[in-house]
Structures are given as structure tokens and as C-alpha cells.
Structure 1
């Protein structure tokens, strides 16, 4: 199984063919317009099922499944907005996938607060196997403020209590906050790199990680300020 997350920086209809050449089984696209606006051309890989969540049809969270995979929305608490629990499944296997596009809170700038609260709310299902949290978290340990109990490092520790880890850091043996690869180049500037997109997976899936690839600035900057994170199990 190949899962890809890529914040497309809007106008996904103009860029879908680029990311689809990587042949995902599951594709998570923050800042994606409503699927009604997307035309999948005859020579493009076409999703067999689609889920989208958002307020404006121009900018939401898109999830696309391919092959024999289907998508079912689980009980979604709208208080957590773009942290959406999904069941993605076929006749043989089922995954609980949290598609994530973390939003800036109203009263401060710590994007992890919504994810922190969602992890507590969805506590029971996060204790299962075949759990994936994937998308644009808009956070990194370098921005931790110690007095904020919901900072990035504390979120990581909370997920670890549920046997959930970052596939990128596990596969590449990287330390949180000191990543060798960046997933965001702020304002598309090479000199402003950050790692803020993640795919976390439960222990039974971490043990099956085959490859984790991060797109390069040179290949992707003309399409978005983010590069894709590609995880193969």
C-alpha cells in the first residue's frame, strides 16, 4: 500500500496529474478544492472513491482512494474541523485513517491544540491496530513552548503511549525537530525549510514500512510550497 499526503497549495485540478504519476493507493490533499471542480483526464489514474470536507468549495481537505479501496466517514466531531476519521477498506483489510489539515486556533498560534484534543476524543479507536494519522500538521518540535501542554513534543509522547509513531522518523532514523528532509518551504523559498507534514502509524504498520520518500524542492516548488510525503507499506 502506498499512501501520499501533499498540501497542494490550492488549485488541485491543475496539479492532480503530477502527483498521480506516483500511483497512490490513498492520497490526502490539504487545500484541495471540491472534487466537483476536478476533471480526471482519460490518461490519469482515477480514484474509485473520494471524500472531501470543507467550508469553501475552493479550499478543503480531499481524500482519494484507488483500486478496490472504499472510504467511509466515521463519527466526526466538527469541533476538530479538519481532523477527519475515516475507515478506508477493501474486502481483505481495513484501516482507520485520520486525514489531517491542522488549523490555526482562534486565540493563539499553536496548531497542535486541535490534534491534541482530537487524540483524546478518539482515544478508543486510536488504541487499535491499522491506525494512520496523516496530513499537514503545521507543527514541529522546534516551535514548542514549554508551558503549552499540547505542544508538538507532548503530542508525540501522547501518540507513543498508543504505540503510534512517525513513519518518516522511524524509517530514516531521524530525531523530531532535526529532520534531514523538509516538507514545507515557506513562501516557496529554499532558505525557509520546515518539516510539518507527517504520516503516523500504529506499531503493526510501522513494522511493515518499506520506504518513506520526501519530494525535493527543485521538483515541487513550482506547484506548491509543500512537497509530498510518500509512504509505502
Structure 2
């Protein structure tokens, strides 16, 4: 199983061929347009299942299956937590729960980014356990900004998840420390001198034990 998260910076229909060369089974795409707007070239593989969430038809959260996996929005979904989406995944060797994430809610006075993830961790507390659980996507956060986000900051989220034996796959696989990542996932304004690590895949211990590799793309705006 290969899961990829990629903030496409809008216009996914024009960029899908780039990411699909990596043959994801499940693809999580923040800033993706509504499926009605996804008019692909004929040679682009067709997704077997799609979920999409958002209020802006040009910029939402898309989740795509390019294998036998099927999606079901779980009944416990809290639409006020934008965009953290609990999805039941079936059709593979085992079922699991995926929380697809694009932490972005500018209308929340308590905070629009990591605070959304913190609220979700609290709201879904009874469902977050150490079995078949993943949280994947654009968290828009890093430990380096803990002082800015004093309540429910990045380190608090990481600690709470680790208490439930849910760990960052990147940090375990590459032996990295939160806030000192060697591999950026964002170059602000496409500037190579403004690298940040803000995208994550957290997985429960049973899934972490099956982990084979974790890769992060490199800077290329040519």
C-alpha cells in the first residue's frame, strides 16, 4: 500500500500526471478543486473512488483511490473541524481509519491551523487508538511555531498522539527530531531558501510496524 499526500496548490487537473507517476494507492490532495471540475487528459488513470470536502469549488480537500480501496465518511464526522475528515478504508488486506487533513479554517477565532488538529484529537479521542489508524495530510504546522500557537500547539498534538501509540512515520523512519527535519515538505512562495516541514503521516503502532519506506519530494519548480 502506498499513500501519498500532496498539496497541489490548486489546479490539480493540470498537475495530476506528475504525482500519479508515483502510483499511489491512496492520494490525499489539499487545495484540490471539486471533482466536477476535474477534467483530465485521456491518458490520466481514473480514480476508483473519490471523496471531496470544501466550500470553495476551486480549493478543497480531495481523497482519491487508485486501487481497490474504497472510502466511507464515518458517522462521527464533525464538519466544524475543517478540514479533518474521518474515513473508513476498506478493500485492502485490512480495514483502517484514515483522518485526511488539510488544517485550514481561517474563520475559527481559536486558530486556523494546528489548533484544528488539536481540536480533532480531542473530539475523536475515544476513536483514536493504537490499532489501524492514520492521520495524513497538510497540518500547516511545526514545533518551531509552538510559541505562536500556545494552546494545542504542534508539540502538544505530537505528544497526545504518541500517548496513544500513534507516531510520525517520517520521524521514525528517518530518525528525525520534531522541529529539526532535514527534508522540507514546503518551500514558501516557491523560494528554495524558505523550507519548512509541515506535512505528516501519523500511524498507529501496528501500521508503523509494517512500514517499508517514507519519501519526501525535493525542490523542483523548473
Superposition RMSD in Å: 1.6
Q: Which has the higher strand share?
A: 1
The number of equivalent residue pairs is: 220
Instruction: Name the residue aligned to 1:21.
Output: 21
Change (3 A) 1:188 1:108: farther
Change (3 A) 1:86 1:147: closer
Change (3 A) 1:110 1:141: farther
Q: Which deviates more, 1-10 or 42-51?
A: 42-51
Any idea what SS the aligned residue of 1:64 has? Answer: strand
Any idea what SS the aligned residue of 2:131 has? Answer: coil
Change (3 A) 1:146 1:28: closer
Instruction: Name the residue aligned to 1:159.
Output: 161
Instruction: Name the residue aligned to 1:230.
Output: none
1:147 positional shift:
7.9
Q: Distance in 2 between matches of 1:9 and 1:79?
A: 23
Q: Distance in 2 between matches of 1:216 and 1:12?
A: 19
Spell out structure 1 runs of 4+ moving beyond 3 A.
104-110
Q: For structure 2, which runs of at least 5 residues remain unmatched after alignment?
A: none
1:41 positional shift:
3.5
Q: Is the 8 A contact 2:130 2:205 kept in 1?
A: no
The aligned runs of 1:100-119 (5 Å cut-off) are 100-105=101-106, 106-107=108-109, 111-119=113-121
The aligned runs of 1:114-133 (5 Å cut-off) are 114-133=116-135
Q: TM-score, normalised by structure 2?
A: 0.94
Taking CA–CA contacts closer than 8 Å with sequence separation of 6 or more, which of the two structures ends up with the larger relative contact order? 1
Instruction: Name the residue aligned to 1:178.
Output: 180
Q: TM-score, normalised by structure 1?
A: 0.90
